[in-house]
Structure 1
Amino acid sequence: KLNKYGRPLLGCTIKPKLGLSAKNYGRAVYECLRGGLDFTKDDENVNSQPFIRWRDRFLFCAEAIYKSQAETGEIKGHCLNATAGTCEEMIKRAVYARDLGVPIVMHDYLTDNGLLLHIHRAMHAVIDRQKNHGMHFRVLAKALRMSGGDHIHAGTVVGKLEGERDITLGFVDLLRDDFIEKDRSRGIYFTQDWVSMPSVLPVTSGGIHVWHMPALTKIFGDDSVLQFGGGTLGHPWGNAPGAVANRVALEACVQARNEGRDLAREGNKIIREASKWSPELAAACEVWKAIKFEFDAVDKLDKPAS
């Protein structure tokens, strides 16, 4: 639907989550898409508050999509949060989004209407991090694939959403691959054959910025969505320069990878080289140069008793 190949998709969660009018919200969407992102998205809190009713938000976001497409010549998208209090209201909002021509809707948990369905893992930690009565996120992810989702937040490995690399890539492969072998070292406890069931794109989002781009490109590959919220809108020059910085960083990493360079070893050098001819990226590098998330993962593989 977005006609992008050979690289991960690049997205952004609009910030602040709440407080913008529908018109200003649409302007933020336009600036990000015009700057080079493939799509933007609503956060889980954005619903239909008195200051930003859902219908107004849908209209201004649709206008932003069409305007940015006309100016860039690229296909753009926005994940409209269609979550509501009843199933009937959610369907009504999703149908309205379809009628506007918006390609993606988001649900805080529709397999019809020809729309991409973006699944936000809001409150997942309440469900999957309690070992006594919880449900592992791997199970939730597989249930999502079985029920028809298209995108799901899958953790970042390097950002603020914790998750060990092997475990995260284990359920990412369960989402993307048609067949996956048993591999207990990655938390895959039995062989899974998905036959012809459509795959799901993993979305990495949460605490990521331009310095993470080489690692994210290497870890998640082309069939993924790299989604920068504050990493776009926190740019000191504004929303559009933030989008430019992320797009330049991504293109530089993809080009370096295709040339055979090692992103794990040369990642910082690649970003610095690209920043020499992109003032937007240089400013972003300066802002986020000292931001790190250092903690132990809660979700660890169970080790057999000795």
Structure 2
Amino acid sequence: MSSTHDDLVKSLNSKQEAYVNLELPEPTNGQYLLGVFHLVPGGKFNILQAAAEVAAESSTGTNFKVNTETPFSKTMNALVYQLDLERELVWIAYPWRLFDRGGNVQNILTYIVGNILGMKEVAALKLLDVWFPPSMLEQYDGPSYTVDAMREYLNVHDRPILGTIVKPKMGLTSAEYAEVCYDFWVGGGDFVKNDEPQANQDFCPYDKMVSHVKEAMDKAVKETGKKKVHSFNVSAPDFDTMIQRCEMIINAGFEPGSFAFLIDGITAGWMAVQTLRRRYPDVFIHFHRAGHGGFTRPENPIGFSVLVLSKFARLAGASGIHTGTAGVGKMKGTPKEDIVAAHEIQYMSSEGHFFKQSWSKIPVSDKDAINLVNEDMAHHVILEDDSWRGMKKCCPIVSGGLNPVRLKPFIDVMGNVDFITTMGSGVHAHPGGTQAGARALVQSCDAYLKGMDIEEYAKEHKELAEAIEYFTKASKDAM
């Protein structure tokens, strides 16, 4: 420990000392959830004092030492165990026995990014990465119905699942909405989703929307001979209404596998996400992250990273979560943020910003765990008949400004095709309309699979040629 660190330790008061151990033995021994924060003090405290106050507030303590603590309660103290003064980083270990033993993700977040984000002792406090020990993973649901199951249903392999978001996002009647779905599916698309504000508006009653989508899907499947999927937003004002919407979809006669439940996870809450996962383990649970930017944008000094959000979505059991377009599309994001998060939730083992996370529930040195990692990196389906060995994957869902021209550039940045892309205007703005936009998207994907330049492929594919001309010009005009 440097003299600077020694000075910082000497500055701690008796309460703060109980939440610091810069010589903590084996933080990765399975007893702790680990977190790395960027922390800038905002008051009278130095960085270690402020970190100790954060550790106290996010575990057992408050602003003063209390007389009601017990020898056992002290063992539940979160501990600051590492500092990087140059980068203003602090590492905190949380005894995971602190958390609701019912696998409650909102309870964890209440601790580690709850009250602490409002503390006046900090000017900047952002959770950049977390690490879950195998002993903790056992207590949480993780995904059940994965993108691998969706691929089996659609019979779509070795390429992205091609999807759209119906646009305009609001204002279409139930019949008009279903017509857009039909056009996309008939044009060759796989997957359609409600946009995040879709609910039970007077101009688009939810029950009629569900009924019309069912009819449109049946007609599209009959005409194309291919399965289709629709993701319905079941976010609602209360628990009962959310469940009623789920049951309405099931009772409408949709084939198992042909529908997903979308939940606005940030605004509806983690309890809604986990309720859906537990009630409907055979349905794809689609986590839309509307509102996340208030926490995750890099310029925001308070909150948590895209990586942290995505890892907790996997822990909670989301089948897929939007992870951003890594700067290729319209949303704020970089490969460092978005691709790291995408890889972390889809692979059995992956490097985060600070931790290498294994999602194995058995020792990572076990030969079966090693084989799982190797099979996973080879893009083979895993955990089908040995699900006790690890937590299943969560699928990156990619949306926000992509179009057929930008599909290959994103795949190149992503490094794989194991994702769902949901293009909105990238389909519906096509000069030929939604069906032509869907064909252009399919043709762009075909060109990628054949290793052909899209300009060359477009010479014999009219819809792709029109998309290239339109979106290239539109992108230049927008600059």
TM range (shorter): 0.7 to 0.9
In structure 2, how many angstroms separate the alpha carbons of the residues matched to 1:31 and 1:243? Answer: 8
- Structure 1: state its 5+ residue gaps: 182-186, 262-269, 294-306
Q: CA deviation at 1:192?
A: 1.0
Give 1:33's aligned amino acid. W
In structure 1, how many angstroms separate the alpha carbons of the residues matched to 2:285 and 2:219? Answer: 23
CA contact (8 A) 1:216 1:226 kept: no
Cα deviation digits, residues 248-278 of structure 1 (max 9, x gap)? 101111221xxxx7xxxxxxxx111111111
Q: TM-score, normalised by structure 2?
A: 0.56
| 1:20 corresponds to which of 162, 168, 172 | 172
Q: CA deviation at 1:107?
A: 0.7
Cα deviation digits, residues 62-94 of structure 1 (max 9, x gap)? 222221111111111111111100122111211
In structure 2, how many angstroms separate the alpha carbons of the residues matched to 1:85 and 1:135? Answer: 26
CA contact (8 A) 1:242 1:284 kept: yes
Give 2:193's aligned amino acid. K
- Which one has the largest radius of gyration? 2
Give the aligned CA root-mean-square deviation in angstroms: 1.9
Give 2:296's aligned amino acid. D
Q: Could you say which residue in structure 1 is the equivalent of 2:226?
A: 74
Instruction: With a CA cutoff of 8 Å and minimum separation of 6, indicate the structure with the bigger relative contact order.
Output: 1
In structure 2, how many angstroms separate the alpha carbons of the residues matched to 1:172 and 1:232? Answer: 23
Cα deviation digits, residues 116-171 of structure 1 (max 9, x gap)? 11111111112222633312221111111011111211111201112111332111
CA contact (8 A) 2:402 2:423 kept: yes
Matched, 1:121 2:289: yes
Q: Could you say which residue in structure 1 is the equivalent of 2:471?
A: 288
Q: Could you say which residue in structure 2 is the equivalent of 1:299?
A: none
In structure 2, how many angstroms separate the alpha carbons of the residues matched to 1:132 and 1:208? Answer: 28
Matched, 1:274 2:442: no
In structure 2, how many angstroms separate the alpha carbons of the residues matched to 1:217 and 1:255? Answer: 14
In structure 2, how many angstroms separate the alpha carbons of the residues matched to 1:239 and 1:167? Answer: 32
Q: Could you say which residue in structure 2 is the equivalent of 1:251?
A: 446
Give 2:449's aligned amino acid. V
What number of residue pairs does the alignment pair up? 278
| 1:240 corresponds to which of 424, 432, 435 | 435
Give 1:11's aligned amino acid. G
Q: Could you say which residue in structure 2 is the equivalent of 1:5?
A: 157
Give 1:103's aligned amino acid. F
| 2:307 corresponds to which of 126, 133, 138 | 138
Matched, 1:199 2:368: no
Structure with greater proportional strand content: 2
Matched, 1:228 2:423: yes
Q: CA deviation at 1:212?
A: 0.6
Of 124-133 and 188-197, more deviation after overlay is shown by 124-133
Q: Secondary structure at the match of 2:473?
A: coil
Matched, 1:55 2:55: no
In structure 1, how many angstroms separate the alpha carbons of the residues matched to 2:247 and 2:358? Answer: 33
In structure 1, how many angstroms separate the alpha carbons of the residues matched to 2:186 and 2:291? Answer: 32
In structure 2, how many angstroms separate the alpha carbons of the residues matched to 1:60 and 1:115? Answer: 20
Q: Could you say which residue in structure 1 is the equivalent of 2:409?
A: 215
| 1:108 corresponds to which of 219, 240, 264 | 264
Q: CA deviation at 1:290?
A: 3.0
- Structure 2: state its 5+ residue gaps: 1-149, 266-275, 361-389
Q: Secondary structure at the match of 1:160?
A: coil
Q: TM-score, normalised by structure 1?
A: 0.86
Mapping of residues 41-52 of structure 1, within 5 Å: 41-52=193-204
Of 124-133 and 220-229, more deviation after overlay is shown by 124-133
Q: CA deviation at 1:179?
A: 1.4
Cα deviation digits, residues 255-304 of structure 1 (max 9, x gap)? 21xxxx7xxxxxxxx111111111111111111113449xxxxxxxxxxx
How many percent identity over aligned positions?
Answer: 31
Of 94-103 and 119-128, more deviation after overlay is shown by 94-103
Give 2:443's aligned amino acid. V
